[in-house]
Structure 1
Amino acid sequence: MKRAQLAVLGLALAAGAGAMLLMRGDPPPPPQVQVVEAPRVATTAILVAAAPIPMGQTLSERDLRWQDWPANAVPEGLITRDDGMDLAAGAMARQGILAGEPIRPERLIRADAGGFMSAILPAGMRAVSISIDSRGSSSAGGFVLPNDRVDIIRTFRNESASQQGGGDVLVSETILRNVRILAIGKNVQVDEQGNSFVDGEHATLELTPSQAEAITLAQRTGQLSLALRSLADAAPTAVAQEEEIVEEQLGSLDIVRFGVSMPTPIR
């Protein structure tokens, strides 16, 4: 093939390739992604629980951690880094605290501020200890734990009926209803696994002053047992309705004040 023919063929091939590129067009440019930086929010470090803290536990530094919180939304009364961790470390928890829950000074008690039991008692209430059966026969099989609600049942010998019948006649009656358990034995809390047990022969109850008098007398005149209440029956409305139903069936305890006998209705 002559040189002239080769040159014409080369030009034709180059023209064809150029035409194909023109027909395909240039690829579109890649989309440009605009990165918008989020506005910076001022934060303040507040003290929170690093793990669940049961009631009565003494707090240490490993139980606590700092958590960033929006500076303009910090509730009043929380412990900030400016306050320091020493404000909580070494104190005792009045109530259970969940992991991640902010620490509040009013939910803590210092060792030099009095006893723990007096710290968890509401104003106007009294803590009274009664004897129970550690084997569970008079404490709902050992399943009564702190913060549960119970009824107190007194079992006693009916003297008049026993004399008439010629044998012992025992009677049981509910003398207190919906009473909060503060401690069983030396237990005032459950452990981190939620386990607890009856480890003593006493139950500490949260009572009003008049209830404290009634329960003290009842211990001297009979044996006391604990009847565990359902959580659904612990509401004040449920207790009020129940008391209306059984009010006519309940008796009274005679409490002597300054030498004068005063019948006390059983509730």
Structure 2
Amino acid sequence: MSMRFVILGVAVLAAGGAGYLAMNLSAPAPAPVAEILPSAPSIELDQVLVAKETILTGGKISGGLAWQQWPVEAIAPDFITQSSRPEAVAELEGSIVRSTIIQGEPVRPIKILGADQSFMSSILPAGKRAVATTIAADTSAGGFILPDDYVDVIMTTRDQNNNSFTTETILANIRVLAIDQTIREDENGQLVQVGQTATLELTPNQTKIISAAQQMADRLTLALRSIKDVEAGRSEPSADHLISGGSRGGTINLIKNGEKTQVQSQ
């Protein structure tokens, strides 16, 4: 009896295996994965010249550029590409930056000065003049005045007869184009930057005013304006009387023996 069960079991297993093989042979082969999934679109790339680090206005390019892959369809016409200018990294070494280039930003020729271009004349707006004026270390907001800040120019003169001083704001809301910087130690032994010569962006008329003030003043002071108070291009009163010979009008500050009073100007 047991032998019959064994033979029957073997027959059942054989029949099941034969059925499984028959099903696999009749079923179609699975399609390759590549036929099931749509193929990814091919993205054409090129190498674009970018800044490896932030380079500030007036800074010199020194090993701060590199090539980076960029989709061709996203490349602007003024980007520098390796396919069009393969030697750009070496060619631009030592060039001066006209406008700040931030880290990772593509380099554009409009932001870089050519070898035959002047930095100051290239950043000066049409109709403006760049005028340098000497400032004392203690009249430049403690060394915190930097290019692109806005300042008021204050003239101080001394009356030798009665040992008094008069102060007057001769120019207001003036953009600083550049400031000559030297390093010195402060009273705590820390190294600080102190400007000695400031280059200001002026109109032709303002140029005449500050030229006259430099001859008349005992001291010219730059007063730093808050960034919240600055409106670039806003016209403000200036000391036209310095070049016109007329009355200045209004009031001026008179400082005598340490006491300040306001007097009507003549």
Normalised by the length of structure 2, the TM-score is 0.69
Closer/same/farther in 2, CA of residues 156 and 218 from structure 1, 3 Å limit: same
What displacement does 1:205 show? 1.1
Q: Name the structure 1 match of 2:39.
A: 37
| Counterpart AA for 1:115 | S
Within a 5 Å distance, the mapping from 1:67-216 to structure 2 comes to 67-81=68-82, 82-84=84-86, 85=88, 86-111=90-115, 113-134=116-137, 137-157=138-158, 167-186=162-181, 198-216=193-211
| Counterpart AA for 1:205 | L
Residue 233 of structure 1, aligned match among 229, 233, 237: 229
Within a 5 Å distance, the mapping from 1:44-83 to structure 2 comes to 44-60=46-62, 62-81=63-82, 82-83=84-85
Which secondary structure state, in structure 2, belongs to the residue aligned with residue 177 of structure 1? strand
Q: Deviations over 1:61-117 (max 9, x none)?
A: x31112233323322222121123145333211121101111111211133x14322
* Cα pair 1:151 1:177 within 8 Å, conserved: yes
What displacement does 1:264 show? 8.9
Deviates more, 1:123-132 or 1:113-122: 113-122
Normalised by the length of structure 1, the TM-score is 0.68
Please, what is the CA RMSD of the aligned residues? 3.7
| Counterpart AA for 1:42 | E
CA distance in 1, matches of 2:66, 2:213: 48
Q: Deviations over 1:152-184 (max 9, x none)?
A: 111223x5xx86xxx333222211111111222
Q: Percent same amino acid among aligned pairs?
A: 38
CA distance in 2, matches of 1:185, 1:219: 18
Closer/same/farther in 2, CA of residues 127 and 251 from structure 1, 3 Å limit: closer
Which secondary structure state, in structure 1, belongs to the residue aligned with residue 136 of structure 2? coil
* Cα pair 1:41 1:70 within 8 Å, conserved: yes
What displacement does 1:120 show? 2.3
Q: Name the structure 1 match of 2:257.
A: none
What displacement does 1:149 show? 1.0
CA distance in 2, matches of 1:52, 1:251: 40
Give the number of aligned pairs.
Answer: 226
Q: Name the structure 1 match of 2:260.
A: none
Gaps of 5+ in 2: 14-31, 183-190, 251-266
CA distance in 1, matches of 2:114, 2:248: 38
Closer/same/farther in 2, CA of residues 99 and 143 from structure 1, 3 Å limit: same
